[in-house]
Amino acid sequence: MPFTALLLALALQETASAPGPEAPDPAAVEVGTVIDQLHEAASRADGPLYFSLFTPDARFIGTDATERWSLGGFRAYAEPYFAKGQGWTYLPRDRVITFAPVACHCVAAFDEILDNASYGSVRGSGVLVRTETGWKIEQYVLSYAIPNDLARPVTALIREHEAAASPAAPSSDR
Is 7 part of a structural domain of the chain?
Answer: no
Q: Which domain covers residue 59, as residue numbers?
A: 24-165
Is 9 part of a structural domain of the chain?
Answer: no
The model's confidence at residue 168, banded by pLDDT at 50, 70 and 90, is low
* pLDDT score of 13: 38
* pLDDT score of 101: 86
Is 173 part of a structural domain of the chain?
Answer: no
Whether 72 shows a pLDDT value over 90: the answer reads yes
Domain count, the chain: 1
Amino acid at 21: P
Question: What is the strand order of the sheet 120-131 is part of?
Answer: 68-70, 54-61, 134-144, 120-131, 107-116, 91-99
Is 127 part of a structural domain of the chain?
Answer: yes
Burial level of 128, CB count in 10 A (0-12/13-18/19+)? buried
- Distance CA(164)–CA(158), nearest Å, equals 10
**pLDDT tens readout for residues 81-103:** 999 999 999 999 999 999 998 77
Strand ranges (DSSP E) for the chain?
54-61, 68-70, 91-99, 107-116, 120-131, 134-144
* pLDDT score of 166: 76
* pLDDT score of 1: 42
Whether 3 shows a pLDDT value over 70: the answer reads no
Give long-range contacts, CB 8 A cutoff, 24+ apart: 18-27. 27/99, 27/105, 27/108, 27/130
Residue 28 in contact with residue 95, Cβ under 8 Å? Answer: no
Query: How many alpha carbons fall within 13 Å on the CB side of residue 159?
Result: 11
CATH number of the domain residue 66 falls in: 3.10.450.50
Is 130 part of a structural domain of the chain?
Answer: yes
Is 15 part of a structural domain of the chain?
Answer: no
Q: What is the pTM of this model?
A: 0.79
Average pLDDT over residues 62-74: 95
Is 159 part of a structural domain of the chain?
Answer: yes
